[in-house]
Structures are given as C-alpha cells and as structure tokens.
Amino acid sequence: MQRLRSILQRIDRKGYGAYKDLQGSYDLGPFTLFVDRVQRDPFAPPSLVRVRTKENGFEGALFGNGTRRVAFEDFLTRAVERALRRAVRGNRGSGGSGRMEIQRPSQVVLPRSSMVVEDGYVEARMAVGLPARGRSVDARGAEAMLLEELPRVVREALLPEGVDSRAARGHVETVEDADDLRRQLPGLGLVAYVANGAVLPRESGASDRPLGEGAVPFRSPEEYRVSVTLPNGGEVSGMGIPEGVTLVVGGGFHGKSTLLSALSWGVYDHVPGDGRELVVARRDAVKIRAEDGRSVAGVDISGMIGALPGGRATTSFSTPNASGSTSQAANIAEALEIGTSLLLVDEDTSATNFMIRDERMRELVQKEPISPFIDLVRPLYDSLGVSTVVVVGGVGDYLDVADRVILMEDYLARDATARAREVRDAFPARVPPGGSAGDVHAPRGRRVRASSIDLRRGKRETARGKGMHTIELGRERVELSYLEQLAEAGQTEAVARAIGEFAAGNRSRGVAEIVRGALDAVAENGLDSLGSFRGHPGELSLPRPQEVAAAINRIRSLEAAT
Ligand code: ADP
Ligand code: MG
C-alpha cells in the first residue's frame, strides 16, 4: 500500500505517461492489485487491472462443479458491477478519468473472462480510467480510486463477508437446475421445455428484461404437461415440446413470437428473476430467418434449392447478395453443417416464398428452384432427425405437415392438434406438401480458405469485436445483426479472436472443424487462451459453436476452397 502511495506521490502532476510507473503488483491487505496495462493518455482505452483476493473463503458448494463455478463467477461479476455503481464516484477529470468498469453481462449466464474463481482465490478483471487534470497525473484522484473505492468494491463483492450468500446459492442452484433440465430433454424425447409460471414477454423490443406489469405467466396445456425432477428445485411441471414438427398458430398479437423467442434463448441459462429460468431448448437449437443481402461462400444448398437460372449448380452456392429465400436456405444448410437438432422459424422474419408456394403459383411458375420450407420440414425430421418449431398465423397448409399444433390465445397456450385435424379433413390441400423436396441432406465437405481473410488490409492488423453486432477483420466489417441468438458483446469479441487465429493459420479447413478446434481449445485452456492480449482478456464470453460458424459464414471475402 505504501509503495503504491509513494509512486503516486512521485508522479503527481507529471505528464500522463508517468502513470506507466504503476505497472506491476501491489499488496493491498486482503487482496493483490495487478496493474497490467497503463493507458497512454486519458482519452485512450482505459488501463487494465486485476484484483485477486488472498484466499477463497466462500463455501465450496458455490463452485463445486463446472456448472456451479460458471454460475458463481457470473454472480460475482454482477456483484462487482453493482458495487462499482455504489462505490465509484465516476468522472474525475478529462477523458475517461475516474471510470471503473467490469464486463457487462446480459440476462444469460455464460463463462466469461471477467471473473476467475479458483480454490485459493477469486480474481476480477477490470478497466480503470486513471484520472488526469488536463494531460497530467492526478495522484490524489488515483489514490482515492485505487486505495479507497477499489478496496470497498472488493469488500462488498469479492469477500464472503460482503456477499449475500443466500442470493449466491440461489443463483448457482437456478443455473444448475436449468442445465440439468436441458440435459434431460433428449431422454424425455423433447426438444424444449417451458415451466409453468415462466414469464416470457420482455420489457420492450429493446430490452431483454422481463415485462413487469401485465405479464401472463405461462401455463402448460394438459396435453403437453410433463413433470420433471430437478436437483435443487425438486418436482416441476410445465410444457414439453416433443421431437418432430410443431406448429405454433394463433391470431396476431397473441404471443406466438414471444414463445418462439423464449425458446430460442432457451439454449442459455438465465439469471434468477429473468422469468425464463426454466425455459430451455436443446443447446444446438438455431433460429432461422431471412437475411437478404448476406453473402454465401460455397454452401451446398442442393437439398433445398435446385438448379438456379443459367444452370448454376447449388452444390456449391456462392453469392455476395442472397435473396430472402436463398439466404434462409443457406442459413438452414449452415445450421446443419455445424450441427443442430432443432430449427426455430417465425413467419415474421421469414421470406414468404420460402415458407410456402400455393397451388396457383405452382401452376403458373414452373421454373421455381426453391423448395418451400413446408416441403422440407418432414424430410428434415424423417431423414435427418432435425425437429422444427414453426410459427404460422396465415398459412393453413402447414397443418398437413405438423405432428402437433399449439394455439396461442390471449397469451395462453392450448393444444389444437385434434381441431387442426378436423379442419384439415374438411378443407384438404389439393397439392400434397413434400412434393418438391429433393434429397434433403447436410452440406457435404465444404472447406474455406484462411487466405481469403486478410487481416492486414486495414490500418493495423485486427480481428476484433465492435459492440455485439460487428466484427472487424482488417478493413472488412462482418455484420452480425441478424444472429438472434448472440447474447452479448463478449461473445462477439471471442468469435473475432477465434476467426483471427484461423486467418493467421493460413490453411483451408471445414467450418465445423475450425469451430470445433477453437472451442475445444477454449474448453481445455480457458477463454484467456483466445489470442494474445496486451493486459488481461477481461471482456470475453463463451459463444456457441453455432454463432462462431454463423460469423465465419458471413465474412464477405470468405472463399470456399475448390
Ligand atoms: P404474435 O407473434 O402472436 O403476433 P407477439 O408474441 O409478438 O404476438 O406478442 C404481442 C405482444 O404481446 C408483445 O408486445 C408481447 O410482449 C406481448 N406478450 C406476449 N406474451 C405475453 C404474455 N404472456 N403476457 C403479457 N404480454 C405478452
Ligand atoms: Mg409474431
């Protein structure tokens, strides 16, 4: 403590660069402070510090297995975030002076690099804007931040006496239950589960927090009720969605998209209070949407789309500008390539001519290369074992291909399978669906060229995330706004670094192989191993294989090796 104080006194009022002398580690009583990287000036990205407690005094049950450890790290990150808000004064001068931050988690629980819980310590990684007056060192401000505010944050968020142990236990147990429930799905023949009492609607289109007032809690129709036993919560009842083809129907604004969206987020665990704690789906579920304008690099979409105009083959389909329907077909092919057991499709975000082609159009337009999705859902399940949950309000023909029909009415789910059969028999479709589907298969053997990604084309060599929806690769910006299951910017950053490593490797490899290689290495060596860092890698979250692949597939310069 004395050493830190005397360095600060020595550099007071000197040029900002004198802060470089802080680099190193300091014993601050119950914890050690590591100053890993010092910013160049008050306007540059903040300095990076770690605080590591001298022991881990938390009860062992909070981090006794992998799932619990991740959940507890998530809990502590959020605790630090709250403590920072309480303890840190904030603005203390020019630029980022006075700011102190930790990675900001979304509503989901993920492995992150912001917090490390080991048997012998806990360590938080933070960013600190070292304070300046103009462009010179403000030693008194720095002393207040590092020797008063920071120790208070440690006391309130990283030491057992400051942490609400009941909340911590609840957090860990909630996550463990969700994880357990998700693991039970295949054995129960289910692709998704929505517990009774779950709150699905969100605060607004821009917020992932639960709707406060007026939310109608979920209640399972009798027909789909499944009881499960969870390690902490005991017996729970709710709606199990079986494998196969499930239709969600209902009038506009009755809660169809809300249900589907909750299922798509069910691939992740949620924090207590989210409302979707026990809404889970198979971990590899992929929401499929139209995305016209995206690029496609050598994807085999021949199972869904026949020969294109000019006789262009679709076994290796490339375009810088896909249409609504071809983009949706490519999205499915790529989901099959990386691996999925559940597709989620919403009419709201689908291309009409991808969903359906009616009888008259089949008659009028003979040269239609695209098999509409209605012709694909059965073969997808019957030959590939890939289930579908599809929301349709307006296309009754889907009744012919569904194993079951869930009707949303006033935000309540009802089983409408029997009624749908009656309707179907009373109004038979004249063209039986399935006719146009060829041999639906996962794409075969595509490899992509690392050399097509040029990280040096830009001002400096880069592969990094910019917010949640963009990755910068040299001069190229990869657009990820349509990845509806990307949860937070930390995942984007991790994906960017994984792509950077592949690009540096300069070999051609299959996309699934690239993704598996990167994520296996992370599983083995931790998120910290993703790329090289100046300072600590405190802002990474673990992405799913599906999102890593989706980002690679959206690189415009990407070329398939032939
Ligand atoms: P649909 O897709 O059937 O047209 P949405 O799912 O978009 O309907 O829902 C319409 C509106 O109703 C949204 O504003 C949504 O937040 C709200 N909503 C959905 N489910 C519920 C619920 N269980 N309780 C209260 N509001 C809900
Ligand atoms: Mg909708």
How large is the average pLDDT for residues 70-93? 97
Contact 169, 62 (CB under 8 A): yes
- Same domain, residue pair 140 and 9: yes
Is pLDDT of 295 > 70? Answer: yes
Span 488-513, pLDDT tens digits: 999 999 999 999 999 988 789 999 99
| Cα radius of gyration (the chain) | 26
The DSSP annotation for 69-124 comes to HHHHHHHHHHHHHHHHHHH-----SSTTTT-EE-----SEE--BSSEEE-SS-EEE
Tell the residue nearest (CA) to atom 16 of ligand 1: 201
Tell the residue nearest (CA) to atom 15 of ligand 1: 201
- Same domain, residue pair 454 and 548: yes
Residues in the 5 Å CB sphere of ion ligand 2? 256-257, 348
Q: Is residue 206 part of a domain?
A: no
Contact 30, 54 (CB under 8 A): yes
**276's tokens:** 């979707």
Q: Using the 3D structure, point to which of 143, 163, 183 is the last residue of a domain.
A: 163
Is pLDDT of 542 > 70? Answer: yes
- Which ligand lies nearest to the CA atom of residue 406 in the structure? 1
- Same domain, residue pair 10 and 148: yes
- Same domain, residue pair 381 and 505: no
Lining residues, ligand 1, CB within 6 Å: 200-201, 211, 214-216, 250, 252-258, 408, 411
Q: How far is ligand 2, taken at its centre, from the CA of residue 253, in Å? A: 7
Range of the domain at 298: 286-426
Amino acid at 331: N
pLDDT the model gives residue 481 = 97
What pairing do the DSSP bridges indicate for beta strands 470-473 and 286-288? unpaired
The total of structural domains in the chain comes to: 3
Amino acid at 375: D
Is pLDDT of 413 > 80? Answer: yes
Pairs from 500-504 (Cβ < 8 Å, separation ≥ 24):
500/455, 500/462, 500/463, 500/464, 500/473, 500/531, 501/530, 501/531, 502/450, 502/453, 502/552, 503/450, 503/453, 503/454, 503/455, 503/463, 503/473, 504/450, 504/455
Contact 440, 375 (CB under 8 A): no
- Same domain, residue pair 61 and 95: yes
Q: Is residue 398 part of a domain?
A: yes
- Same domain, residue pair 382 and 470: no
Instruction: Please state, in angstroms and as integers, the Cα–Cα distance from residue 348 to each residue in 210, 256, 290, 335, following that order.
Output: 22, 10, 10, 20
For residues 137-158, one letter each, b for 16 or more C-beta atoms within 10 angstroms of the residue's C-beta and e for the rest, the string is bbbebbbbbbbebbbebbbbbb
Find, among 286, 284, 282, 67, the residue nearest to 186 by Cα.
Answer: 282
Average pLDDT of the chain is 94
Q: Using the 3D structure, point to which of 426, 460, 479 is the last residue of a domain.
A: 426
Span 369-406, pLDDT tens digits: 888 999 999 999 999 999 999 999 888 899 999 999 99
- Same domain, residue pair 129 and 44: yes
How large is the average pLDDT for residues 221-225? 98
For residue 466, the cross-strand partners are 470
Q: Is residue 268 part of a domain?
A: no
Secondary structure class of 314 (helix, strand, coil): coil
pLDDT the model gives residue 336 = 96
Span 237-276, pLDDT tens digits: 999 999 999 999 999 999 999 999 999 999 999 999 999 9
Q: Is residue 390 part of a domain?
A: yes
Mutate to test the pocket of ligand 1, among 208, 218, 253, 414 (most ligand atoms within 8 A of CB): 253
- Same domain, residue pair 8 and 148: yes
Instruction: Please state, in angstroms and as integers, the Cα–Cα distance from residue 96 to each residue in 102, 133, 240, 465, following that order.
Output: 14, 11, 50, 21
Is pLDDT of 458 > 60? Answer: no
Q: How far is ligand 2, taken at its centre, from the CA of residue 248, in Å? A: 10
**Angle, CA 280 vertex, CA 418 and CA 468 arms, to 5°:** 125
- Same domain, residue pair 337 and 298: yes
Q: Is residue 280 part of a domain?
A: no
- Same domain, residue pair 15 and 140: yes
pLDDT the model gives residue 436 = 60
Backbone angles phi, psi at 103, to 5 degrees: -45, 140
pLDDT the model gives residue 429 = 77
Instruction: Tell me: ipTM over 0.90.
Output: yes
- Same domain, residue pair 466 and 406: no
Q: Using the 3D structure, point to which of 163, 198, 223 is the last residue of a domain.
A: 163
Find, among 331, 355, 326, the residue nearest to 343 by Cα.
Answer: 331
d(CA 485, CA 110): 13
Ligand 1: atom nearest CA of 259 is: 6
295, HSE (Cβ side, Cα atoms, 13 Å): 17
CA dihedral sign, ordered 171, 154, 106, 187:
negative
How large is the average pLDDT for residues 36-53? 97
Q: How far is ligand 2, taken at its centre, from the CA of residue 256, in Å? A: 5
- Which ligand lies nearest to the CA atom of residue 262 in the structure? 1
Q: How confident is the model at residue 437 (pLDDT cuts 50, 70, 90)?
A: low
- Same domain, residue pair 38 and 141: yes
Q: Is residue 404 part of a domain?
A: yes
Q: Is residue 322 part of a domain?
A: yes
pLDDT the model gives residue 309 = 81
Q: How far is ligand 1, taken at its centre, from the CA of residue 89, in Å? A: 40
Q: Is residue 217 part of a domain?
A: no
